[in-house]
């Protein structure tokens, strides 16, 4: 078991003929991910890494039975790609694209929710169920199958933590990058709920960062609803207020969104909070044997 993606995933790639799309399609196919279709308007008839390309998502879904989509489309076209995927009946849409205007995501988020679909991202590395499906841009080889569920707002920082877990023999059930934008389709709380319900996940790592209050919401959810051990790390303990730290959503504003506030909330909820990523494996071992 795992969450969201596995060997039964039938993946469609939107923007498959672009530079990012074609490169990562090759990487995902190589990993063994079941990639069944690609979409580029005007690209029908081509193949990328052996994957057939269609003009529209609806056509691709009809022909291949795709049930999950990953979006590598430039920011100004990405909201349209999200609408197209959901409208074609795709239940799980992963948007890798960085730089989508916030005002485009406000209606997109509401619409995806209303249609009962799930969006992961935007501005995220995607997700991976090791050994089954890599749906994203992460390096596959640092992962290993195992009992740890991981959820993070970051990209390379997630790889850092995954790598440290794999090296000490703690494989992952699924690792989910939810994205660094102010509006993201799937929150910590959503993923924590999925991990809590997943029999293959024995413990959870959550990696947050400054900005917003999603980590505080997660802390409340963990306190009330999560029985599995959780370890956390919050990036940006040394970040100044009022400055955007790379990610559009990583900003302390009006005194809200500090690392200290998030770390305190998690600690109060019984989460083992690491001061550096390297402390995560030991804290996890301790929490799992407690």
Partner 1 sequence: MNVHEYQAAEVLARYGIPTNEGIVVTDPEGAMEAARTLGGTVAIKAQVHSGGRGKAGGIKLAHSPEEASSAAGAILGLDIQGHVVSKVLVVPGVDIAREFYLGVILDRPNRRILVMASAEGGVDIEEVARDRPERIIRVLADPALGLQAYQARGMAFDLGLPSDKVNGFASIAAKLYRAYVDEDATLAEINPLILTGAGEWLALDSKMSFDDNALWRHDGIEAMRDPAEEDATELDARRAGISFVKLDGSIGCIVNGAGLAMATMDAVKLHGGDPANFLDVGGGASADQVAKAFELVTSDPNVRAILINIFGGITRGDIVAQGITEALGRVTVTAPIVVRLAGTNAEEGRAKLAEAGLTAVETMDEAAIQVVAAAGPN
Nearest Cα to Cα of residue 123 among 165, 154, 92: 154
| 254 part of the interface to partner 1, by CB under 8 A | yes
| 218 part of the interface to partner 1, by CB under 8 A | no
Q: How many CB atoms are closer than 10 A to CB 6?
A: 15
Q: Applying CB under 8 A, which part among 28-36, 43-51, 58-66, 134-142 lies near partner 1?
A: 134-142
Q: Give 92 or 134: the residue with its C-beta nearer to partner 1.
A: 134
| 59 part of the interface to partner 1, by CB under 8 A | no
Binding residues for partner 1, rule CB under 8 A, total 63
| 31 part of the interface to partner 1, by CB under 8 A | no
Conformational region of residue 123, where left means phi above 0, alpha means psi within -120 to 50, and beta covers everything else: left
Structure tokens at 131: 């050994």
| 239 part of the interface to partner 1, by CB under 8 A | yes
Q: How far is Cα 255 from Cα 269, in angstroms, rounded to an integer?
A: 21
| 235 part of the interface to partner 1, by CB under 8 A | yes
CA distances from 13 to 83, 96, 185 (A): 14, 11, 18
| 10 part of the interface to partner 1, by CB under 8 A | no
User: 47-63 burial string, b = 16+ CB within 10 Å, else e?
Assistant: ebbebbbbeebbebbee
Residue 143 falls in the annotated catalytic set: no
Least gap, CB of 252 to partner 1 (angstroms): 12
Active-site residues: which are they? 247
The footprint of partner 1 (CB under 8 A) covers 23, 27, 75-76, 99-107, 109-111, 137-139, 141-142, 152-160, 163, 180, 182-183, 207, 209-210, 212-214, 217, 233, 235-240, 243-250, 254-255, 259, 275-278
């Amino acid at each position: 078991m795992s969450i969201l993606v596995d060997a039964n995933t039938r993946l469609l790639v939107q923007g498959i003929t672009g530079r990012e799309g074609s490169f990562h399609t090759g990487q995902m196919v190589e990993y063994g991910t079941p990639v069944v279709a690609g979409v580029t308007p005007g690209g029908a008839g081509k193949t990328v890494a052996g994957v057939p390309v269609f003009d529209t998502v609806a056509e691709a879904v009809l022909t291949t039975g795709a049930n999950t989509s990953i979006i590598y489309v430039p920011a100004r076209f990405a909201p349209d790609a999200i609408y197209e995927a959901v409208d074609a009946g795709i239940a799980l849409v992963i948007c890798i694209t960085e730089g989508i205007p916030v005002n485009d995501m406000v209606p997109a988020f509401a619409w995806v929710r209303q249609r009962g679909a799930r969006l992961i991202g935007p501005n995220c590395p995607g997700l991976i169920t090791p050994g089954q499906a890599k749906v994203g841009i992460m390096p596959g080889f640092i992962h290993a199958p195992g009992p740890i569920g991981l959820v993070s707002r970051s990209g390379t920082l997630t790889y850092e933590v995954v790598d440290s877990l794999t090296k000490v023999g703690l494989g992952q059930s699924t690792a989910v990058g939810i994205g660094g934008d102010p509006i993201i389709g799937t929150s910590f709380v959503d993923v924590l709920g999925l991990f809590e319900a997943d029999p293959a996940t024995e413990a959870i790592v959550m990696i947050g960062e400054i900005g917003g209050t999603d980590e505080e919401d997660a802390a409340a959810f963990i306190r009330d609803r999560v029985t599995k051990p959780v370890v956390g790390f919050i990036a940006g303990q040394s970040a100044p207020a009022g400055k955007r730290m790379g990610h559009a959503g990583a900003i302390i504003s009006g005194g809200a969104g500090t690392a200290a506030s998030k770390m305190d909330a998690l600690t109060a909820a019984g989460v083992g909070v690491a001061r550096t990523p390297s402390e995560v494996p030991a804290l996890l071992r301790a929490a799992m044997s407690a």
